[in-house]
Amino acid sequence: MQDKILNKIIAADDLHWCSEDNRYVAISVDELNTLLTNSVESGITDENDLYQIVKWATNARIGEILLKNFMERKIKIFKIDENGEPMFGSN
């Protein structure tokens, strides 16, 4: 569901095409490989920990894209959710 919402407010030009999953993603395959390699080289090898790092990096990238698009007035904030996070919509 989140993917469908993000695809409406984040242009494909800001994302990477993943032919394996047949969809646009926030982190490219090369970036994912580098992220995992750097994590393993830092001593993080637990699969759940690696998953959490990928999740964090994906959220950080999406946040970066949303901020850029908000600053460029391509999207707008229409309310703040119960966690204090902005909710975005098309402008």
| Residue 2, token pair as written in the block | 């989140």
What's the confidence (pLDDT) of residue 7? 63
DSSP classification of residue 24: E
Residue where the block lists tokens 């993943």: 18
pLDDT digits (tens, 9 = 90+) for 13-29: 899 999 988 988 999 99
The CA-atom distances, in angstroms, between 54 and each of 30, 32, 34, 61 are 13, 7, 11, 11
Number of structural domains in the chain: 1
Residue 11 tokens read as 């242009």
Q: Is the pLDDT of residue 4 over 60?
A: no
35-89 pLDDT, tens digit per residue, is 999 999 999 999 999 999 999 999 999 999 999 999 999 999 999 999 999 999 9
Domain that holds residue 32: 2-90
Here the tokens at position 89 are 């919509």
- The helix-helix angle for 47-71 and 29-41 (nearest 10°) equals 130
| pTM value surpassing 0.95 | no
